Amino acid sequence: MTVPSPAHVEGVTVLSQEHLTDDVYRLTVATTTGGTPGQFYMVRAWEREPLLARPISVHSVDEDTVSFLYQVRGRGTELLSHLQQGGTVALTGPLGHGFHTEELRGRIAIVTGGIGIAPMFCLARTLPPGDVTVIAGFKSTPYAVAQFTDLGMDVRIATEDGCDGTRGFCTEIFDPHIYDMVVTCGPMPMMARVAHLCAEAGAPCQASLEAHMACGVGACLVCSCATVLGNKRVCADGPVFDAAEVIWHA
């Protein structure tokens, strides 16, 4: 698959910043650089520190906007959370290889954990709603799920504290035997479990991996992951991989 050269754009205007939960935000910026489901951008909203931009997956794309759903996890994302309408960011992207949407046919399960739901809305908008089930797990109060319901998709929720949906993990309410295709994104242990269940059931699964990144373009090798085909770069060879190729417990 050929991926166009990414753009680097300074001074991109912030259109909105929504505070969804204690530490989850949705940032929408004005840009025509676009992106496909599963791709990401390196995002920066500061001059000197931290040294590196932050990789954030594409949450939604329209003709002249891109949205990012992100969780505050450190200094960089904390600075992003302070942005307000009219502020500016620097973007490099879109980057990486996204979901193989041409393979997503039949009954499809979207299995996510926590902020792993971020890239799935962009994907969901490309899929036939009657054939898609979204199985989303959260520690506590769910977020960003109503938009899938608005698309006419079946949404099933699991929360660890039992405040909504089924108490427990999303993998406990996921049965791969009833799906033709599965896509997943979330914590590595969760995705490892999804991959194992899919392998047992013979269900093809695409997994969008998360990793610490420095450059985002495959030059630094910081984000390498082990696969049956050798080490791969999450940023440049992924972030979406065939789950059967990933060595989950390397």
DSSP letter (8 states) at residue 165: S
Q: CB within 8 A of 52, min separation 6: which ones?
A: 76, 213, 214
- pLDDT confidence band for 4 (50 / 70 / 90): low
Instruction: Give yes or no for residue 117 having a pLDDT over 60.
Output: yes
Q: 215 a known binding residue? A: yes
CATH number of 101-245: 3.40.50.80
Contact by Cβ (8 Å): 59, 123 = no
Q: 225 a known binding residue? A: no
The per-residue pLDDT of the chain, averaged, comes to: 93
Which residues of the chain form CATH 2.40.30.10? 7-95
Q: 35 a known binding residue? A: no
Mean pLDDT of 164-181: 96
Q: 70 a known binding residue? A: yes
Which residues of the chain form CATH 3.40.50.80? 101-245
pLDDT for the residue 221: 79
Q: 54 a known binding residue? A: yes
pLDDT for the residue 232: 93
- pLDDT confidence band for 212 (50 / 70 / 90): confident
Q: 55 a known binding residue? A: yes
Q: 143 a known binding residue? A: no
Where is average pLDDT lowest: 46-60, 87-101, 171-185, 198-212?
46-60
Q: 235 a known binding residue? A: yes
Where is average pLDDT lowest: 8-22, 36-50, 168-182, 212-226?
212-226
CATH class of 7-95: mainly beta
Q: 69 a known binding residue? A: yes
Q: 220 a known binding residue? A: yes
Q: 122 a known binding residue? A: no
**DSSP string across 228-240:** TTEEEETTTT-BE
Mean pLDDT of 188-195: 96
- Look at 88 and 214; give whichever has higher pLDDT: 88
pLDDT for the residue 6: 78
Q: 85 a known binding residue? A: no
